[in-house]
Structure 1
Amino acid sequence: MPVRVVDTATPSSQPSPGQDSNAGQPSPPSCSLLSAGRCFAGTQNVSSLQKDEAWKVNVRIHGCDLEQGYLCGTMEALNVPLADTPVVTFWEGEIVDAKNYTFFTGKWEASPEDDIRHWSKFSSFTPLLSQIETDGGKSLDLSNYPHIFMRWKEQYFVNVGVDCGLTIAGFYYVCFSCSDGSISGFYYDPNSSPFQKLELKCTNEKNSGFTFSSYELQ
C-alpha cells in the first residue's frame, strides 16, 4: 500500500493471459500452513530516497481453493503515517501452479521482464528459471516444491476511503515457505518505489475461515 494517488479501476475476475487451464498438469501444491484462518505478522519496507520507513503488517487468509489456484484475505497496515487508524485492504491471490496460473502475470502493467526480475529476487526461484525460459514453466511440476509462489492483488479498502492517500494499484509477488509458513514478497507498481519488501511470519492464531471461494469478512 505505497503512498501516492489511489487507482480506483475496477478489478476483473476474468482469466488473464497469465492463466493456463491445462487440466493435464499435476495437482496444485498442498501445504497445511496455507489455509483459511491462518494469520501472519511482519513488516513492509516502504523506504524511499527521502527516508527509511517500514510499516507493521498483519495478514489473514479468509479463503483458499488450491484446485483453482485461488486464495483471498485481508492485509492490515498498522503505522501508516497519513492514516488515523490501521488501514485494512481486501486482496485476492493467484497461486502459480502451472495449471491455473503461470509465472507470467500478463496484466497489471507487468511485462515478462518485470516478472522475471521480481521472481528472481527469491532464491527459491533460481532452480526453476531455466525451465521457465524454455517453455514459460508450463511443464514444471510444482506439486511437491517446498515453496509456493503467488501474486496478491489488493482489490479495495475495507475501513477507509479511497482518498486515504494510499494506492492499491500494484500487486505483490509472493513466495511462501511450506516448512515454516514464512512469507516474503515484493510490491510492484510502476509509479511507486520499486521492490518494497514484505516479510511475514506465521502466527499461532488460526480462527474460523472458509476453504472455498465463497467467503465473508469477519
Structure 2
Amino acid sequence: MPVRVAESSAPSPSPGQEGSPDHALLPTCTLLSVGQTFAGTQNVSCSQKEEAWKVNVRVHGFDPDHGYLCGIMEALNVPYAETPVVTFWEGEIIDGKNFTFYTGKWAATPEDDVRHWAKFPSFAPLMNKVEADGGKSLDLSRYPYIFMRWKEQYFVNVSVDCGLTIAGFYYVCFSCIDGSINGFYYDPNSSPYQKLELKSNEGRSGFSSSSYQLQ
C-alpha cells in the first residue's frame, strides 16, 4: 500500500499432470496455512531505509488446489494516518496449472514479470523455463519456495481518500524452509521495487487487525 503518486504518462496443465489428480502442485509446507501471521517491514522508498513501514500480515484463506489464498495486511506507522491502515488482499499461487509466472493483467508485461521475479535469488534456476513458457513446464512440487502474487482489493478501515494506493500488486516469494516472505510491489505510477520483508510469528497469535470484519 504505497503512497499515492501523480499519474505518469507513461493456465494450461503442466506436461505430465494431465489425468494425474494426485500430482502435488505445491510442496508440503506447514508454515503457510490459515491463521498464520507474519511481521516485518515494507520499504516505501528504495533509497531511504528510514521510510520503512512496520507491516503485519495474517492469512485468512488458503486453497492450494486452486492456487488461491487471501488475508489482511496492516501497516502500523503510515505518515499522517491516525490509525493503522488495514487492507484485504487476495493471492495467486504460481503452480503452473492455475497460475504461471506471467501475470497477464494489472499493467504488468512479461518483461515486468521476469524483471521482478529475477530479484529473488531462488528464481534463478527457473529463469530459462519461465522465459520459454511462463513456467508451465516446471514441476514446483519439490521446490522449497512458493511464488505468489498478492493483490490488495480494498481498504478495511480507512477510505480510499487516505492518500495511499492499492492499484498495484506484490510479487512474493515464500520460503518453506524458515517461513520468511520477501516481496516487491509493482505499480507503474509508484516508486519501483518497494520491498516487503516478513518473518513468520511463533504460533498463530493474531494481531490488532484480526478483529476487523471482512466483507
CA contact (8 A) 2:90 2:152 kept: yes
Superposed counterparts of 1:56-71, under 5 Å: 56-71=54-69
Distance (Å, rounded) in 2 between the aligned partners of 1:179 and 1:130: 24
Which residue identity is paired with 1:124?
Answer: S
Q: Deviations over 1:121-175 (max 9, x none)?
A: 0000000001112232111000110000000000000011111110000000000
Aligned twin of 1:151: 149
Matched, 1:28 2:32: no
Percentage identity across aligned positions? 71
Matched, 1:3 2:31: no
Which residue identity is paired with 2:140?
Answer: L
Aligned twin of 1:123: 121
State the Cα RMSD in Å: 2.2
Q: Which runs of 5+ in 2 are unaligned?
A: 207-212
Q: TM-score, normalised by structure 2?
A: 0.87
Alpha carbons of 1:132 and 1:85: their partners in 2 closer, same or farther (altered >3 Å)?
same
Of 103, 106, 117, the match for 1:105: 103
Which consecutive aligned stretches of 4+ in structure 1 deviate over 3 angstroms post-superposition?
Answer: 19-23, 48-52
Distance (Å, rounded) in 2 between the aligned partners of 1:50 and 1:171: 21
Distance (Å, rounded) in 2 between the aligned partners of 1:98 and 1:51: 35
Q: Which runs of 5+ in 1 are unaligned?
A: 8-18, 209-215
Alpha carbons of 1:75 and 1:50: their partners in 2 closer, same or farther (altered >3 Å)?
closer
Alpha carbons of 1:121 and 1:20: their partners in 2 closer, same or farther (altered >3 Å)?
same
Give the deviation of 1:28 after TM superposition: 1.8
Secondary structure (helix, strand or coil) at the match of 2:148 reads: strand
